[in-house]
Structure 1
């Protein structure tokens, strides 16, 4: 049958028979899944993984029981598809099947990453009732399949902490380098489709950073200027991403210990300006006893030095979109804030009041927002005129306060993305500078 344009319509993924001949070889259980023995949805997911694995050159799949993806759908998906049914949307956009599929409960332990809205502050996003209903229908559908609605870019902050050597299938620019590096778990930077297929099958291609030989450092980085504070680590991460792109660095000359919050911000910055999915810091990260150990006895492909001039260049670059110092929006919490970061903001605001010309929005996982509420921190922030958000962020939800021309943030990731996504100017500085800016309405670097 031909379409109106005279072309043959694509074959539904669930109808494609498994055809041996690619690089991926299946076990008997996997072959049964691929050939439809466990239902059309599982067969569609296996078809997607086989095609993906062939592209990666994977020889086989590997079992995973820890998948973090982003499969909540809203109006922009239904408009393009012409259907708001969550079953149809999941089948089309997550499993590459134009035919709605009867998806079974998830085989792997699965969680939803950051989503498009915060149900507490949906009114501030300007979401109407119909839009909210589409999003909540999608959430209910995922939950019915066994997906945990953590709705955060930092699932490792709220209970999903994979172990060393555990094969995972995770999305998200801060989460991937965090669990690969600090925890020693194994994942590539996956997408919505591959994570959805992994949820359904409990499998992911055995390629890339799942293989030990691909996890060794390739580049040596030496630090010639102090990198101590969380802000310093953000600047350093952005520098690494710009210079390495997708290589794996081992970082020498780190002075003292490094806290997890700094590494959260570091990985997000490095995986925004580049594609640094893993790094080694001897004595800090899970798989680096020494520089030589991280390099696996090989000489580095290249040796880089991070200098004071590099530090200043990054800050200048990240502030380059701003043409003035008046600020309408201060955004803190990308990646989502930890409890210690929320406490810092609370201390900086306690007894003060932000400018009437500024919106101060702080983002954190919903689980941590509840802890902050019980601790009394939310009350302090709200008395100061701020709001604490969860489940989303301005880049993912694609929203800023009305009238925003210029925003300030302590996030290298957010100032990298939001000007392009929302057409606003950005200022980048420390958390303290951002809070001072919120109090005055003027950039306070």
Structure 2
């Protein structure tokens, strides 16, 4: 790789051991993937935040690199932690877990990382513009940034995203290059999709087929309503069941609107109503009643929270209405607005909780006694059985809420 004189100084350790480590990691990645040079990034988003996912080894790594008082050099946000950072006692998170999680957050805070702890940074201020080069790690956020916004990022690991945050650069390879952003599959969706959960089913099905390739979607019936939340759900599920970091939607995503996409040489897939029904049954792994209903994976937008509120109001649900726990997971940024709108009060009067900073996948729910989880998230339905040992009850927002009555 070509390095500037300043980059060579960092690589050779002239600015300290931590930055040397970070630069060596980025150069090693560049060498592996054939990058010619490093490029500047406008922001970073770091994963590997929950103690459940990184454990003691990850915590010790963060302690080591944060002790030298180095700071991130670009705006940097964090992925969800393993608990609500404010209400962990009320929600009965295990005490030892709480201590370790707070230590992790302390390390990131010392490095100047924003402690927003959300998988939807684009709803909370970390908003790249079209064509920006960024270094993001959360799979659903990578998908949204590449596809819906038209920024450019590879699917970074937690360490590489943190290294990019410290240096302010990333290797020029993969989805940073035009030629790697072309689709290899055209997906013709004949089925009519309505709820967010339908897009999760679609993503689950297509992700398993295309794996880490780039699909181009043609929706025969269009996308109605809150299309951004629906595309968020689609991308999250694609990334979970496959490893899709970029997709295109005809007439909607920016590179399609700018006529930069050629689909003549793509392989074609047709998705019917019957295909989605089969995938729906595959995602449902139990007929038991839920122990926990969890909405918000990725974190809820304000519109998704309002959908829960509308259900509660329409059905006149009181505090004793739900027969299980209800978490509506979102970022602290969105929760503040939900508080002001009165949405939080409605949900919590009905016995639910608006939970910040975490979700059912990275929280230690298996230690907290939750086994049967109802969700409207295709991503969560994919991850819960393996990550948490959970049984899954999958459906639309209203369907899973009804399961708790």
Using structure 2 for the length normalisation, give the TM-score.
Answer: 0.92
Work out whether residues 329 and 401 of structure 1, in 8 Å CA contact, stay in contact via their aligned partners in 2: no
| Secondary structure in structure 2 of the residue aligned to 1:347 | helix
Bigger-Rg structure (1/2): 1
Work out whether residues 227 and 254 of structure 1, in 8 Å CA contact, stay in contact via their aligned partners in 2: no
**1:414 — aligned with what?**
380
Cα drift, residue 384 of structure 1:
0.8
**1:43 — aligned with what?**
20
Deviation digits for residues 3-48 of structure 1 (CA, Å, limit 9, x no counterpart): xxxxxxxxxxxxxxxxxxxxx2212221111011222211111111
Cα drift, residue 326 of structure 1:
2.1
Counterpart pick for 2:298 among 335, 341, 357: 335
Work out whether residues 222 and 303 of structure 1, in 8 Å CA contact, stay in contact via their aligned partners in 2: yes
Counterpart pick for 2:310 among 338, 347, 352: 347
Work out whether residues 408 and 427 of structure 1, in 8 Å CA contact, stay in contact via their aligned partners in 2: yes
Alpha-carbon distance in 1 for matches of 2:56, 2:43: 31
Counterpart pick for 1:63 among 40, 52, 55: 40
Alpha-carbon distance in 2 for matches of 1:318, 1:215: 30
Runs of 5+ consecutive residues of structure 2 not aligned to the other structure: none
Alpha-carbon distance in 2 for matches of 1:176, 1:54: 22
Pick closer, same or farther for the CA change 1:240–1:325 going to 2, 3 Å.
Answer: same
Pick closer, same or farther for the CA change 1:70–1:307 going to 2, 3 Å.
Answer: same
**1:305 — aligned with what?**
270
Cα drift, residue 400 of structure 1:
4.9
Pick closer, same or farther for the CA change 1:425–1:137 going to 2, 3 Å.
Answer: closer
Alpha-carbon distance in 2 for matches of 1:78, 1:182: 33
**2:11 — aligned with what?**
34
**1:248 — aligned with what?**
214
Cα drift, residue 347 of structure 1:
1.2
Work out whether residues 220 and 300 of structure 1, in 8 Å CA contact, stay in contact via their aligned partners in 2: no
Alpha-carbon distance in 2 for matches of 1:282, 1:75: 39
Moved more, 411-420 or 250-259: 250-259
| Secondary structure in structure 1 of the residue aligned to 2:30 | helix
Cα drift, residue 438 of structure 1:
1.6
**1:127 — aligned with what?**
94
| Superposed CA RMSD | 2.2
**1:281 — aligned with what?**
249
Deviation digits for residues 36-73 of structure 1 (CA, Å, limit 9, x no counterpart): 12222111111111112112221211111200003546
**2:148 — aligned with what?**
182
Count of residue correspondences:
399
Using structure 1 for the length normalisation, give the TM-score.
Answer: 0.84
**1:89 — aligned with what?**
61
Counterpart pick for 2:261 among 294, 305, 320: 294
After the TM superposition, which residues 252-401 of structure 1 pair with which residues of structure 2 at under 5 Å, given as runs? 252-257=218-223, 259-289=227-257, 293-295=260-262, 299-319=264-284, 321-322=285-286, 324-350=287-313, 351-353=316-318, 355=321, 357-400=323-366
Alpha-carbon distance in 2 for matches of 1:106, 1:414: 30
Cα drift, residue 187 of structure 1:
0.3
Work out whether residues 72 and 115 of structure 1, in 8 Å CA contact, stay in contact via their aligned partners in 2: yes
Alpha-carbon distance in 1 for matches of 2:202, 2:86: 35
Pick closer, same or farther for the CA change 1:402–1:396 going to 2, 3 Å.
Answer: closer
| Secondary structure in structure 1 of the residue aligned to 2:289 | coil
**1:8 — aligned with what?**
none
**2:105 — aligned with what?**
139
Alpha-carbon distance in 2 for matches of 1:90, 1:50: 21
| Secondary structure in structure 1 of the residue aligned to 2:261 | helix
Work out whether residues 61 and 203 of structure 1, in 8 Å CA contact, stay in contact via their aligned partners in 2: yes
Runs of 5+ consecutive residues of structure 1 not aligned to the other structure: 1-23, 440-445
Moved more, 410-419 or 255-264: 255-264
Pick closer, same or farther for the CA change 1:220–1:434 going to 2, 3 Å.
Answer: same
Alpha-carbon distance in 1 for matches of 2:154, 2:322: 44
Deviation digits for residues 389-408 of structure 1 (CA, Å, limit 9, x no counterpart): 01011211231584433221
Pick closer, same or farther for the CA change 1:286–1:67 going to 2, 3 Å.
Answer: same
